[in-house]
Amino acid sequence: MPIKYHELVDLFGWFDKTTFMDGVILEQVTPGSIIIAATFFGYLHFGIFGSILATNCVFTPSYLIQMGIMPFFDRLRSHPQFYKVINGILCSFVGLLTVVTYRFALDIQWSLVNIVFTLVAFVLLVRRIDVILVILGGIILSFFH
């Protein structure tokens, strides 16, 4: 998501922040989230051809990387530095997600009700309430907002 945001909003300027957030919401509430978002963004910018191209481009790099690494994965995993590299990748990913979350937070029209929604959702997720229930609760409460 951070890379998509940088590319689609900041670098190329194909979408504004609101449209990007719509795509992220769509990707979070549907199965196959990354595929749905790629198809959505591809379609919005380039039509049917763009949706097909974007969907294929989501699969191709990871497929090629996976096919290239699989024969060597057991040796890689047994290397002492492997988990340090994976941990570094995970830390950078958390940092990227933090930046995107911050940027999204700047674009929300904050009110007391939205702050309460956010805090309640955060507490429920920390308490390991099923994310589907949190989303459904947010949808239901938003009808009364």
Environment class of 8 (CB within 10 Å of its CB; exposed 0-12, middle 13-18, buried 19+):
buried
Residue 53: count other Cβ atoms within 10 Å of its Cβ: 14
pTM, two decimal places: 0.58
Inter-CA distances, 110 with 114, 115, 122, 144, Å: 6, 7, 16, 17
Q: Which residue has the higher pLDDT, 36 or 64?
A: 64
pLDDT tens, residue by residue, 41-84: 999 989 999 999 998 998 898 889 889 988 888 888 888 899 99
pLDDT tens, residue by residue, 90-114: 999 899 888 888 888 888 888 998 8
pLDDT at 21: 85
Q: What is the mean pLDDT of the chain?
A: 88
pLDDT at 133 over 80: yes
Which one, of 99, 97, 118, 98, lies nearest residue 108 by Cα? 118
Written as one string, the DSSP assignment of 78-131 is HSTTHHHHHHHHHHHHHHHHHHHHHHHHHHS---HHHHHHHHHHHHHHHTT--H
d(CA 98, CA 90): 12
